[in-house]
Chains A and B, each alone.
Chain A
Amino acid sequence: DVKVTQSSRYLVKRTGEKVFLECVQDMDHENMFWYRQDPGLGLRLIYFSYDVKMKEKGDIPEGYSVSREKKERFSLILESASTNQTSMYLCASTAGGTVSYEQYFGPGTRLTVT
């Protein structure tokens, strides 16, 4: 059974703090993704990675960076958190080689920036 875990379910941070969101998958998937989900806007892709140390910007990368040092782990970093980054953050992974595979999601991290 595929499992994608995220480091926190709920997180409250102050404006200006550096925030780390961790995602780990246990199925040896090549591709990993970070999304944010906001009411009325749906899921929007922040970054994705198709291999260790490889990353590509998604639709809304501004204010975020990522790190993928190991295949199973994909980290999202908010360099200086702002209130407009309050959102639900979802990590996902898929098997590699093709984009047509099912995406498996983690349970999400609800981040509040005050």
Chain B
Amino acid sequence: RKEVEQDPGPFNVPEGATVAFNCTYSNSASQSFFWYRQDCRKEPKLLMSVYSSGNEDGRFTAQLNRASQYISLLIRDSKLSDSATYLCVVIFSGTYKYIFGTGTRLKVLA
């Protein structure tokens, strides 16, 4: 089983739709969680950290479910510019390692 798993998609959604991605992780001792965004042929960039209590940044909401060992990303009112690959990142306690999921591809359609 992979340490961090994501549905690769693609998720094709119309503009204005709400879309959600999940990411599961295998190590219950995981410490920190992030969502990164990667545009085609570009480097990954931090979208948001994921806090235990859940957090929101504009149209984006991230949540953590430690009991079921997954994190989620919800995007409301999707824009064409949201089209990208979204990478889930987990850091296990006591390590320097950032474990990346393979990413979920989102296409927002006009």
Contacts and interface: CB of A to CB of B under 8 A. Distances in A.
B73 to A, nearest CB: 16
A40 B102 contact: yes
A43 B100 contact: yes
Interface in A44-64: 45, 48, 50, 56, 58
B101 A42 contact: yes
Interface stretch (B11-19, B55-63, B91-99): B91-99
A48 B32 contact: no
Contact of B32 (A31, A33, A100, A105): A100
Given A45-B97, A45-B98, A108 B43 contact: yes
What is the size category of the interface that chain B forms with chain A?
20 to 34
A80 B82 CA distance: 40
A103 B87 contact: no
Contacts of A43: 44, 87, 100
Given A40-B102, A42-B103, A103 B46 contact: yes
Contacts of A102: 34, 46, 49
A86 B49 CA distance: 32
Across the A-B interface, give the 5 residue pairs with the lowest CB-CB distance, nearest first: A42-B102, A105-B43, A43-B100, A100-B32, A102-B46
Interface of A: 31, 33, 35, 40-43, 45, 48, 50, 56, 58, 90, 99-100, 102-103, 105-108
